[in-house]
Amino acid sequence: MRKFFLTAALSLGVVTAAPAMASEGGHIKRLDWPQDGIFGTYDRASLQRGLQVYQQVCASCHGLKRVAFRTLTDLGFTMDQVKKIAAEYEFEDGPDEEGEMFTRPGAPYDYFPSPFPNEKAAAAANGGAVPPDLSLIVKARRGREDYVYSILTGYEEAPDGFTVPEGGHYNSAFPGNVIAMPPPLSEDAVEYADGTPATVEQMAKDVVNFLSWAAEPKMEERKRIGLRVVIFLVILIGLLYGIYRRVWARVDH
């Protein structure tokens, strides 16, 4: 029975790894996320704002290669809006009838492009460090949303006696407290389409929500299926127990 309930909890996403310190020196902030828990769902308004933050702030360095434009309908966009978003990007295609490659506007079936042609170019543009692709970044880090949010909001002045090497930045959440990435967010760095004030904390929450969806776009569907499975199994166990009692009721023990 214990194994049954553990399996059911895992299917619903109830049992998760507890957010932990990234490593010694990392201070992780704990937040409540709308997608947490059995009945947690994504906040569509926040996801759309997060996409805006990604496009205007993060996309210059970080790719999102596992996310297709067509899936943005899950965020509440219409297909016409998705086509408009995709058309903002250019893709190399071909060859044409003359054997030449050409560029074309993006289409819903395309995936978000990388900002660099290859890893060597990415490293050369970022002081030797390759910015990670953000498609799975939330699932790939201990602490998940809490960790990524803490990194984005953890830039501070280094405490007295702490030496930050040249090209580094003090970050209270990053292991060792020195990170190569400059602070990506600043007050009013974007102008939200819905008029929400663009504070650093708000932008961090929104982009983390968006990246959480990017890492697990079928989370809501998984929870719905998991809940149905649990309900079915509970009913089945009840029926089997009733049958068991009926069959053995006439047996002299």
How confident is the model over 147-200, as pLDDT tens digits? Answer: 999 999 999 999 999 999 998 999 999 999 999 999 999 999 999 999 999 999
Residue 85, in any domain of the structure = no
Residue 57, in any domain of the structure = yes
pLDDT band at 129 (very low <50, low <70, confident <90, very high): confident
Residue 4's pLDDT is 35
7 pLDDT higher than 70: no
Residue 102, in any domain of the structure = no
Residue 9's pLDDT is 41
Residue 206, in any domain of the structure = yes
249 pLDDT higher than 90: no
How far is Cα 155 from Cα 174, in angstroms, rounded to an integer? 9
Residue 25's pLDDT is 53
Residue 29, in any domain of the structure = yes
How confident is the model over 202-219, as pLDDT tens digits? Answer: 999 999 999 999 999 999
Look up the domain containing 150 and give its range: 2-67+111-248
> pTM of the entire structure?
0.84
Write down the mean pLDDT value for the chain.
89
pLDDT band at 19 (very low <50, low <70, confident <90, very high): very low
Six token digits for residue 195: 């008029």
Question: How do 102-105 and 90-93 pair as beta strands?
Answer: antiparallel
Residue 17, in any domain of the structure = yes
Domain count, the chain: 1
Residues with Cβ within 8 Å of residue 170, at least 6 apart in sequence: 155, 156, 157, 158, 162, 164, 177, 178
pLDDT cut 90: percent of the chain above it? 81
List the CATH number of the domain containing 42.
1.10.760.10
How confident is the model over 62-91, as pLDDT tens digits? Answer: 999 999 999 999 999 999 999 999 999 999
pLDDT band at 26 (very low <50, low <70, confident <90, very high): confident
Residue 253's pLDDT is 66
CB atoms within 10 A of CB 250: 6
Residue 186, in any domain of the structure = yes
Residue 188, in any domain of the structure = yes
